[in-house]
Amino acid sequence: MYKPFIDRLQRYVWPLSGVVFITALLVLAPVMASTPPTPRTPGRNAASVSAPTPGTSGWTQFSSAAFGYALRYPTAWNVRDNGATDNATMQLLTFRVPGAVADVARFQVSRRTYADTLDLVRHELNDRPLIPTTIGGRPAAIGTGPAYDGGIMHVAIIPTSHATLLFALHASDDSDPNVDAFNQLLATLEVSEGARVFLPLIRH
């Protein structure tokens, strides 16, 4: 499955040391805690965003004031907020369709820089090119590549002033209906620059 894709990206992170200074001590609490945060399932009214993107009417809304984003996702999908999962990941959302045994998509709010994220994603996609695009009103990049189970990975990377947003979808093939849902989800993304600023990890 595609879970190792995000997991391997997370393992590229350099451990927190004296080189990395976080401006707000509050940020360190979920990252450095010895006990992983309890996953949370957001409610149906967890957010508010602007008028729905065509085709997304009735979708569930989710946003984070802390990390400055809002998005919609198919109501049939189940979302799980896993919180901070490692030194690089400030928040990880996982999406699963009913009856599935694995996640269909993941959304990561990362401290890793945009440039480093692009390099890591290119490596994971076997050096396939990433295509420049616009997502959420800002320059971004998308790409596809083979998944470990023979499926296809669809990836989108969006930089913000305070984090790098990484979406990853696992599809059986290009005819998988979740691909269209994924593209529509990306079109609903809104990013706010009013979020707290977090210092990204620095690669040595």
Domain containing residue 182: CATH number: 3.40.1000.10
Evaluated on CA atoms 140, 96, 195, 20, the torsion sign reads negative
Q: How many domains does the chain have?
A: 1
- Evaluate whether residue 72 is within a structural domain: yes
Evaluated on CA atoms 11, 170, 91, 159, the torsion sign reads positive
Share of the chain above pLDDT 70, in %: 68
Average pLDDT over every residue of 161-175: 91
> If pLDDT is split at 50, 70 and 90, which confidence band does 5 have?
low
- Evaluate whether residue 26 is within a structural domain: yes
Coil, helix or strand at residue 9: helix
- Evaluate whether residue 17 is within a structural domain: yes
- Evaluate whether residue 87 is within a structural domain: yes
Query: Residue-wise over 121-156: b if at least 16 C-beta within 10 A, else e?
Result: bbebbeeeebeeeebbeeebbbbbbebeeebbbbbb
What is the 8-class DSSP label of residue 85?
-
Residue 22, pLDDT score: 23
More confident residue, 183 or 38: 183
Domain that holds residue 91: 3-33+58-191
- Evaluate whether residue 53 is within a structural domain: no
Q: Which of 190, 182, 164, 192 is nearest to 62 (CA)?
A: 190
- Evaluate whether residue 52 is within a structural domain: no
Q: Which of 129, 121, 128, 105 is nearest to 158 (CA)?
A: 121
